[in-house]
């Protein structure tokens, strides 16, 4: 509050008469008139509220709403009235409620965060208290016989089992057991199951945690949780400590300076310290899992920490058959179910995906019948898992014909091109948002090695463009449809990867740091490659138009056509002439 007076430099305080004060409000016009007549010795103006409070000559008080104009202020200054200005903001019930709410919210949050029972009751708990989530699980029932399809990884880990069972054999010869093993592989390949099997075979406690649980908003909490974890491990040694998704804290250090990075670095430093603290007779083996071994810190990977790096890959066809056998033990299978056949058609499936496939089959079998899994159920579930659920859309005859031509184009081009995937099935039944789908069976060599030739990738682009090529040949350029939009997205992704990531471009440069000029060259080369492949598709479709029509008619009649029928249609002759071979220079 500051003071402004027409006669005195400092306004005296408003005095209160001993006689009873009477509230005497005035209208705005009466208020201005009283000022001019010097009838109000003291006035307090509140500009932020447009209110004036006053005392009159008789000791009464009042207030009035004012209009702040230059004329009003001039009148106040020229009068004998002592004027005071109060710049305070108005206080409303909403202000009180807002303040009360904020204080209550703060108290609630702090009680939730720092309550000792918070973690037990499902809240956050006090992150600085001893963490009780690390528990040693005993009597693990999982065994190596429950883990199929990854025999190479199992063989690598059998020494750890032998050490935990008979440590004196190794101590006596001066051998040091690996302190840690890193399991690297795609999600669903069985890394967690393998770690549990080691504990089960060794008959030792199993302590499992996720590395993501170490990271908190409070710096230092992650390091403390690591100490808590290994404290529990020392109390239960010999034991297995399994840290899942270790890349959450084990990324390469030194990048960035944000507090979250500081917290992560403290956590990984504490983990390294704990692993260095094992003496030769400590019966603690740390097993970690990741699907991003390329981003892990070098300090984690050096000898003395995670000595063993074990790649857990996708199972081969033989491995998939074994995995299917494990998960089929408790399921009712029809007499005509052939697990080897299912294994062959599920190229690229992980163990978890195979388990899910059979589980979905069992659910479908119970829903549709007596719980017996038949070949039809397996086929329907396979298509739903790979492509999506069957749609309810009913196509018109014209739309059905269009989809049939489109899918027939994919199938004809794929069946004729040399060294491409095998056509398994062609369908015009809507699934997963697609009007139809052509199923191809990848080769085991490609699926297991994940190494593809330039010729194969070019064939993949050519096959993807087969649907659009069939539309153009049958309906003309002006009547092609948007049905190939997904195909084109796939085509340009493959083409860009070929010319940048895989180095198939005629221009040699670092694709990660391309200049704008280099990017333009790549775009031109991509367009050239796609145009070339589309021309190949058009040529194959044009040269086999009668077969395209036959396959279209078969699809309209049956909706689903087996791949063997397609190969019978084309005479099972792969194109070997120089005109049909796809190449790109």
Residues tagged active-site: 407
The answer to whether 66 and 45 are in contact (CB under 8 A) is yes
**DSSP 8-state assignment for residue 131:** P
Structure tokens at 282: 């400590």
Q: Are 5 and 75 in contact (CB under 8 A)?
A: no
Report the C-alpha gap between 99 and 94 in whole angstroms. Answer: 9
Give the span between the Cα atoms of 427 and 561, in whole angstroms. Answer: 6
Angle between helices 466-475 and 545-558 (to 10 degrees): 100
Spatial separation of the C-alpha atoms in residues 531 and 493, rounded to whole Å:
15
Q: Show the CA angle centred on residue 392, arms to residues 390 and 393, nearest 5°.
A: 115
The three-class DSSP label of residue 333 is strand
Burial class for 352, CB neighbours closer than 10 Å (0-12, 13-18, 19+): middle
DSSP one-letter string for 305-321: SS-EEEE-----HHHHH
Half-sphere exposure of 536 (CA within 13 A, CB side): 29
3-state secondary structure 530-555: HHHHHHHHHHHHHHCHHHHHHHHHHH
Q: Which residues pair with 85 in a beta bridge?
A: 2, 45
Query: Residue 311 and residue 330: Cα distance in Å, rounded?
Result: 30
- On whether the CB atoms of residues 57 and 15 are closer than 8 A, the answer is no
- Are 3 and 84 contacting, i.e. CB atoms less than 8 angstroms apart? yes
Of the candidates 309, 544, 521, the one whose C-alpha atom is nearest the C-alpha of residue 415 is: 544
Q: How far is Cα of residue 297 from the mean position of the Cα atoms in its chain?
A: 22
């Amino acid at each position: 509050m500051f003071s402004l007076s027409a006669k005195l430099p400092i306004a005296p305080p408003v005095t209160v008469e001993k006689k009873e004060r009477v509230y005497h409000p005035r209208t705005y016009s009466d208020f201005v008139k009283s000022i001019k007549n010097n009838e109000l010795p003291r006035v307090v103006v509140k500009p932020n509220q447009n209110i004036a409070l006053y005392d009159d000559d008789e000791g009464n008080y009042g207030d009035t709403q004012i209009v702040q104009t230059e004329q009003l202020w001039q009148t106040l200054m020229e009068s004998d009235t002592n004027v005071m200005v109060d710049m305070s903001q108005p206080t409303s019930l909403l202000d009180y409620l807002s303040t009360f709410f904020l204080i209550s919210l703060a108290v609630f949050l702090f009680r939730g965060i720092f309550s000792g029972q918070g973690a037990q009751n499902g809240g956050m708990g006090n992150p600085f208290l001893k963490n009780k989530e690390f528990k040693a699980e005993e009597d693990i029932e999982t065994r190596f016989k429950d883990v199929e399809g990854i025999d190479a990884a199992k063989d690598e880990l059998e020494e750890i089992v032998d050490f935990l069972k008979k440590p004196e054999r190794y101590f006596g010869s001066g051998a040091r057991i690996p302190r840690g093993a890193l399991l690297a592989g795609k999600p669903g390949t069985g890394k967690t199951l393998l770690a549990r099997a080691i504990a089960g075979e060794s008959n030792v406690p199993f302590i499992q945690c996720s590395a993501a649980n170490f990271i908190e908003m409070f710096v230092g909490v992650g390091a403390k949780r690591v100490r808590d974890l290994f404290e529990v491990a020392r109390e239960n040694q010999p034991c297995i400590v399994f840290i899942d998704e270790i890349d959450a804290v084990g990324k390469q250090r030194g990048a960035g300076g944000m507090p979250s990075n500081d917290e992560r670095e403290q956590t990984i430093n504490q983990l390294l310290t704990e692993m260095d603290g094992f003496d030769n007779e400590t019966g603690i083996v740390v097993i970690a899992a990741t699907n991003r071994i390329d981003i892990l810190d070098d300090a984690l990977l050096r000898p003395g920490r995670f000595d063993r790096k074990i790649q857990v890959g996708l199972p081969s066809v033989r491995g998939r058959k074994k995995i299917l056998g494990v998960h089929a033990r408790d399921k009712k299978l029809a007499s005509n179910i052939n697990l080897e056949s299912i294994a062959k058609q599920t190229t690229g499936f992980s163990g978890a995906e195979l388990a899910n496939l059979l589980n979905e089959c069992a659910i479908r079998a119970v829903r549709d019948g007596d719980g017996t899994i038949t070949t039809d159920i397996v086929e329907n579930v396979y298509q739903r898992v790979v492509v999506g659920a069957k749609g309810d859309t009913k196509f018109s005859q014209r739309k059905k014909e269009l989809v049939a031509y489109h899918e027939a184009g994919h199938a004809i081009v794929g069946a004729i091109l040399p060294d491409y995937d095998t056509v398994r099935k062609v369908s015009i039944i809507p699934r997963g948002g697609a009007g139809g789908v052509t199923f191809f069976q990848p080769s085991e060599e490609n699926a297991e090695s994940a190494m593809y030739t330039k010729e194969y990738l070019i064939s993949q682009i050519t096959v993807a463009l087969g649907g659009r090529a069939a539309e153009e040949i049958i309906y003309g350029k002006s009547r092609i449809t948007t049905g190939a939009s997904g195909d084109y997205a796939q085509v340009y992704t493959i083409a860009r990867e070929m010319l940048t990531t895989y180095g198939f471009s005629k221009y040699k440069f670092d694709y990660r740091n391309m200049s704008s000029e280099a990017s333009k060259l790549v775009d031109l080369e991509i367009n050239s490659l796609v145009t070339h492949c589309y021309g190949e598709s058009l040529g194959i479709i044009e040269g086999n138009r009668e077969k395209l029509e036959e396959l279209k008619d078969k699809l309209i009649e049956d909706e689903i056509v087996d791949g063997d029928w397609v190969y019978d249609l084309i005479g099972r002759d792969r194109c070997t002439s120089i005109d049909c071979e796809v190449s790109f220079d």
